[in-house]
Every structure is written in structure tokens, then in C-alpha cells.
């Protein structure tokens, strides 16, 4: 008997707020499939408020509530069974983050869970990342966001180390990151990767996905350090307007893509990695997977 579930995930990041609707198909005696039915992205850029002023502006609080109201209606239209909304660095650091979460719950009926960097990394690890990780190899997973970057080292099919740093694209754009943090990240990566001889990077986030798409590479093929370095030079040679008109970037992507690429290149250099794999995964995918895993556990208990 075929079973179909519809779940949704809301990822409230420092740069954008995303709603992912996923259709989960469970054929009898066959592998379960996860299909992205709909993805809506609104670039509110909460981090631009929080990292400079310490709080979310009144304008962006209104925009957030409008967006959540729209997402609530979309989930109703999609007949969503279960959903989860997670907020990361910007709402975590905002003095009025909890206040906004309370207002959203009251106005829209959507409960927002504000999570830390380690929890964020753990949710992403619930995705199909394990399918990419081979037991005999070592990988440094790098998830670049607007407010923070999560680094996780995998070797022998297991998690060796994980750390979240306040090294995000929106923070970098607003010159909120000093040299000491870069040095701390460099020291951590070098120390954790030193015992391993050959390391590949796994990159996630909207910026690396954008770079991968523009490369024309087939899904599953990694990007080389040389390609990423050349692309970084190209980005820096163009103006903000040129990146929009010539490279077809969204207005909220054309600025953050430069600091994001710098983070990936730095991580590759410090880990001595020559290539970066770009699976299409992120926090929203992890939320869907964790919702499904929790549902299956509940069903097993009831059985």
C-alpha cells in the first residue's frame, strides 16, 4: 500500500526565510522518496539589523509576520500534515528574537524554535549527507549562512568534530568580523584536519549552490579549488550591478556571494582540500528528514 505524507520546513536565516514543502512517498517494500514540491524564499535579511543594532527593526518584524502569515496559508493550501520552523543566528542573537517568535505564534499560529549552531549542524546531518560520505574517506562539511558557519569533520563514516563560528556572509558585509575570528577558525580547521592526509570539502548553502549551478557541472561532480578561486576573482572583478546583470544573480545574492566564496576557499586552503562536493541540502531538508524520522519512531512505539 502506497503512503504519501506532506511535510513543511521553515528556515529563518540571517539572509532569507525559506518555506520548503516536501512530498514523502512510501511505496510498499520500496525505498522512501522525498520530493521538493515547493520552495519559497523571501530575502528579509534579519542579520543586517541584528549584527549592527542588536535587534530586529520594526519594519522587518512586520515583514516577518507578513511572511509567516503567507507561509501559514501556503501550508494550509498544500494540506501539510506536519511542519517545523527553525530560526538560526540572527534571531538567536537579537535582543527581541523571543518577542518576535511570540508575536508570530500569536498572529500566525506558527511556533518558531530558535536553535544554536550545534543543533543546526545536527539537523543538517539528518539529511542524505551520509549517502555522499564514504566510510574510507575524510570530509570537512562547511555550511555557510548569513550569521554563522558550521564546520563538521567526518572520517571513517563518523563525526570527528563539529563547531559553529560567528563567521557569516551578512556579518562580513557589515564588517562585523575581525581578524582574530578568522585566525580562530583557521587554527580549528588546521588542528582537526592535521591527522588526515586527504580531505574533500562538502559545501552547503545558497551561495555554493548558485556557484555550482553556474559551473554547468553534473550533479555529483565536485568543483575544484582552481575553479572556485577563478570564480572568486571573476566576482571581485565585477560590480554589484554587473553581478546582477551579467551573471543573473538575485539582488540579495550578488553581495553575499563574495564573502561566502572567501569562506569556502579559506576552508579548502586550511584543510588542504582540492575539491568541494555540493549536494543540494540545507537546514530545511534536515528539518523535513528529522520530522519524518520522529514520525516513524512514534509509529514504531504505537505498533
What phi-psi label fits residue 132: left (phi over 0), alpha (psi between -120 and 50 degrees) or beta? alpha
Q: Is the Cβ–Cβ distance between 143 and 234 less than 8 Å? A: no
Written as nine digits, the cell of 158 is 563518523
pLDDT value of residue 143: 92
The gap from C-alpha 111 to its chain's centroid, in whole angstroms, comes to 20
pLDDT value of residue 301: 79
| Domains of the chain by start residue, with CATH | 3-117+284-302 (3.30.420.40), 131-280 (3.30.420.150)
Cβ-based burial of 274 (10 A; exposed 0-12, middle 13-18, buried ≥19):
middle
In this model, does residue 196 exceed pLDDT 80? Answer: yes
Q: What is the pLDDT of residues 147-183, one digit of tens each?
A: 999 999 999 888 899 999 999 999 999 999 999 999 9
Q: What is the pLDDT of residues 217-237, one digit of tens each?
A: 998 899 999 999 999 999 999
SS3 sequence of the chain: CCEEEEEEEEEECCCCEEEEEEEEEECCCCCCEEEEEEEEEECCCHHHHHHHHCCCCHHHHHHHHHHHHHHHHHHHHCCCCEEEEEECHHHHHCCCHHHHHHHHHHHHCCCEEECCHHHHHHHHHCCCHHHHCCCCCEEEEEEECCCCEEEEEEECCEEEEEEEECCCHHHHHCCCCCHHHHHHHHHHHHHHHCCCCCEEEEEECHHHHHHHHHHCCCCCCCEEHHHHHHHHHHHHHCCHHHHHHCCCCCCCCCCCHHHHHHHHHHHHHHHCCCEEECCCCCHHHHHHHHHHHHHHHHHHHHC
Phi, psi of 43 (to 5 degrees): -85, 75
pLDDT value of residue 128: 64
Q: What is the pLDDT of residues 277-289, one digit of tens each?
A: 998 888 899 999 9
Q: What is the pLDDT of residues 5-44, one digit of tens each?
A: 999 999 999 999 999 999 999 988 888 999 999 999 999 9
188 compared with 219, residue with greater pLDDT: 188
In this model, does residue 204 exceed pLDDT 70? Answer: yes
pLDDT value of residue 131: 67
pLDDT value of residue 120: 84
pLDDT value of residue 272: 97
Phi, psi of 247 (to 5 degrees): -100, -5
Q: Which among 15, 283, 12 has a CA at the least distance from the CA of 171?
A: 15
Q: Which among 228, 222, 186, 221 has a CA at the least distance from the CA of 207?
A: 228
How far is residue 126's CA from residue 97's CA, in Å, rounded to a whole number?
A: 26
Q: What is the pLDDT of residues 46-100, one digit of tens each?
A: 998 999 899 999 999 999 999 999 999 999 999 999 999 999 999 999 999 999 9
Written as nine digits, the cell of 267 is 576552508
**pLDDT-based confidence at 187, cuts 50/70/90?**
very high
Q: Which among 211, 135, 158, 151 has a CA at the least distance from the CA of 186?
A: 151
pLDDT value of residue 130: 64
pLDDT value of residue 303: 65
pLDDT value of residue 291: 94
How distant, in Å, are the alpha carbons of 56, 86, 90, 111 from that of 95?
A: 8, 17, 10, 18
Amino acid at each position: 500500500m502506497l503512503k504519501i505524507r506532506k511535510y513543511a520546513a521553515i528556515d529563518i536565516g540571517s539572509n532569507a526565510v525559506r518555506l520548503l514543502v516536501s512530498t514523502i512517498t512510501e511505496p510498499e517494500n520500496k525505498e522512501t522518496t522525498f520530493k521538493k514540491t515547493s520552495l519559497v524564499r523571501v530575502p528579509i535579511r534579519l542579520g543586517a539589523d541584528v549584527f549592527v543594532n542588536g535587534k530586529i527593526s520594526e519594519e522587518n518584524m512586520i515583514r516577518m509576520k507578513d511572511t509567516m502569515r503567507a507561509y501559514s496559508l501556503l501550508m494550509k493550501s498544500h494540506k501539510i500534515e506536519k511542519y517545523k520552523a527553525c530560526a538560526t543566528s540572527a534571531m538567536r542573537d537579537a535582543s527581541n528574537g523571543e518577542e518576535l517568535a511570540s508575536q508570530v505564534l500569536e498572529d500566525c499560529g506558527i511556533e518558531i524554535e530558535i536553535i544554536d549552531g550545534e543543533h543546526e549542524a545536527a539537523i543538517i546531518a539528518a539529511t542524505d549527507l551520509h549517502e555522499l560520505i564514504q566510510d574510507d574517506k575524510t570530509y570537512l562539511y562547511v555550511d555557510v549562512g548569513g550569521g554563522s558557519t558550521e564546520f563538521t569533520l567526518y572520517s571513517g563514516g563518523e563525526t570527528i568534530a563539529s563547531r559553529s563560528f560567528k563567521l557569516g556572509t551578512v556579518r562580513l558585509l557589515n564588517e562585523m568580523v575581525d581578524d582574530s575570528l578568522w585566525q580562530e577558525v583557521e587554527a580549528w580547521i588546521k588542528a582537526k584536519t592535521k591527522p588526515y592526509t586527504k580531505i574533500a570539502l562538502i559545501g552547503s548553502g545558497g551561495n555554493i549552490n548558485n556557484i555550482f549551478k553556474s559551473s554547468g557541472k553534473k550533479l555529483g561532480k565536485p568543483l575544484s579549488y582552481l575553479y572556485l578561486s577563478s570564480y572568486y576573482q571573476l566576482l571581485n572583478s565585477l560590480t554589484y550591478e554587473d553581478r546582477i546583470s551579467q551573471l543573473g544573480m538575485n539582488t540579495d545574492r550578488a553581495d553575499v556571494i563574495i564573502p561566502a566564496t572567501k569562506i569556502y576557499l579559506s576552508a579548502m586552503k586550511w584543510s588542504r582540500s582540492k575539491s568541494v562536493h555540493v549536494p543540494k541540502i540545507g537546514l530545511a531538508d534536515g528539518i523535513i528528514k528529522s520530522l519524518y524520522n520522529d514520525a516513524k519512531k512514534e509509529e514504531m512505539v504505537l505498533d
